[in-house]
């Protein structure tokens, strides 16, 4: 029995490189969704962009994100904060609509969609690194947030809109959603439970939107072919989530997270540089 359908036909790298980087991306996503080193999943799309075209990379990751979300929700069946979820949801719907429009635009022949997707993902990676650095500096200066009221619907709508756009284009809503939920001052398990439900709902909504973007734009995003590629990595999803939940309870992910964000910074700079050099 042949398993060629599990590997992209036009890989520019050796299969072992593809499986190593793909497995790393999925495990880091699982760690992040399990609550260890919040926001680590933001590196997954840039990693896959080193071995796949942009449209294929985001399509490959989407089913795997949903599988990770399912396993995370099962580990936090009752711990979540419905008001925080609702505050983000309205803006996220708007952001998804904006992201859909951009994906359709990038699919038309008049626009170099590969260039723009890579540039946007690279710039978003750098902005997320800056956001993380700002948070770390605030912690070092012992900035107190306890006297300020937690953010409400206005902030949630704005952050949800940004999250909706970034999750459509790069599966990178994690840093902005984490920032909102942290300021809501949820306990650790409620934080992970709320985030996992948010991602599960809106990653699932992205499936018909990805199909619609391909239909309207004339270039497919999700397909049976990309689903086949994802299938080989499904067993890593529960493993990553399980490891993330265990590490969440026992270890601080701060040092590990800093290393990942350093890698994200280098990867983002490389993507932006290559995109601009190609013009």
Distance between CA atoms of residues 264 and 1, nearest Å? 38
pLDDT of residue 256: 60
Give yes or no for residue 204 having a pLDDT over 90: yes
User: Are 31 and 37 within 8 A, CB to CB?
Assistant: yes
pLDDT of residue 194: 93
pLDDT digits (tens, 9 = 90+) for 127-164: 878 877 777 776 655 545 455 677 789 999 999 999 99
Q: Does any domain span residue 6? A: no
Closest-CA residue to 113 (of 237, 219, 261, 270): 219
pLDDT of residue 212: 94
Q: Considering only CA atoms, give the Rg of the chain.
A: 18
pLDDT of residue 124: 81
Distance between CA atoms of residues 254 and 53, nearest Å? 31
Q: Does any domain span residue 238? A: yes
Q: Does any domain span residue 5? A: no
Task: Name every residue whose Cβ is closer than 8 Å to that of residue 2 and which is 6 or more positions away in sequence.
Answer: none
Q: Does any domain span residue 2? A: no
Give yes or no for residue 233 having a pLDDT over 60: yes
Q: Does any domain span residue 4? A: no
Domain assignment of residue 103, given as a range:
11-277
| DSSP letter (8 states) at residue 184 | T
What is the pTM (predicted TM-score) of this model? 0.84
Q: Does any domain span residue 33? A: yes
Distance between CA atoms of residues 86 and 225, nearest Å? 35
* Of the listed ranges 67-76, 186-195, 226-235, the one predicted with least confidence: 186-195
Q: Does any domain span residue 261? A: yes
Instruction: Please provide the average confidence, as pLDDT, over all residues in the chain.
Output: 84
pLDDT of residue 261: 72
User: Are 232 and 63 within 8 A, CB to CB?
Assistant: no
For tokens 């306890």, the residue is 146
pLDDT digits (tens, 9 = 90+) for 265-279: 877 787 788 777 766
**Alpha helix segments (H runs only) across the chain:** 15-33, 44-48, 54-75, 82-107, 113-140, 153-170, 174-183, 188-217, 224-231, 236-250, 254-277
Q: Does any domain span residue 48? A: yes
What average pLDDT does range 211-219 have in this prediction? 89
Closest-CA residue to 178 (of 53, 277, 33): 33
pLDDT of residue 118: 82
What average pLDDT does range 102-122 have in this prediction? 81
pLDDT of residue 175: 80
pLDDT of residue 36: 67
Distance between CA atoms of residues 52 and 59, nearest Å? 10
Give yes or no for residue 4 having a pLDDT over 80: no
pLDDT confidence tier of residue 121, bands split at 50, 70 and 90: confident
pLDDT of residue 34: 80
Number of domains forming the structure of the chain? 1
**Alpha helix segments (H runs only) across 76-187:** 82-107, 113-140, 153-170, 174-183
Longest dimension (CA), the chain: 64
pLDDT of residue 1: 45
Measured CA distances, 18 to 14, 23, 53 (Å): 7, 8, 13
């Amino acid at each position: 029995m042949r398993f060629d359908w599990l590997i992209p036909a036009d890989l520019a790298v050796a299969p072992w490189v593809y499986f190593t980087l793909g497995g790393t991306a999925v495990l880091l996503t699982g760690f992040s969704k399990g609550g260890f080193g919040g926001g680590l999943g933001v590196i997954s799309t840039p990693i896959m962009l080193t071995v796949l075209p942009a449209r294929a990379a985001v399509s490959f990751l989407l089913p795997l994100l949903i599988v990770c979300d399912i396993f995370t929700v099962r580990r936090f069946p009752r711990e979540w904060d419905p008001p925080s979820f609702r505050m983000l949801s309205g803006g996220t719907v708007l952001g998804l609509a904006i992201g859909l429009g951009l994906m359709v635009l990038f699919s038309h022949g008049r626009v170099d969609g590969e260039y723009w997707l890579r540039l946007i993902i690279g710039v978003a990676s750098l902005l997320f690194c800056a956001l993380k650095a700002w948070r770390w500096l605030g912690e070092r200066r012992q900035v107190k947030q306890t006297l300020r009221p937690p953010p409400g619907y206005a902030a949630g709508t704005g952050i949800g809109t940004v999250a909706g756009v970034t999750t459509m284009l790069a599966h990178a809503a994690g840093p902005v959603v984490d920032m909102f939920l942290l300021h809501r001052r949820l306990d650790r398990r409620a934080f992970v439970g709320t985030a996992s439900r948010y991602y599960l709902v809106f990653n699932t909504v992205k499936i018909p939107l990805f199909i619609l973007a391909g239909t309207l734009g004339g270039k497919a995003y999700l397909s049976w072919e990309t689903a086949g590629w994802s299938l080989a990595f499904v067993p890593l999803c529960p493993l990553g989530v399980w490891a993330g939940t265990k590490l969440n309870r026992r270890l601080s992910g701060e040092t590990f997270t800093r290393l990942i964000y350093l890698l994200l910074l280098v990867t983002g700079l490389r993507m932006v540089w290559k995109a601009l050099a190609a013009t």
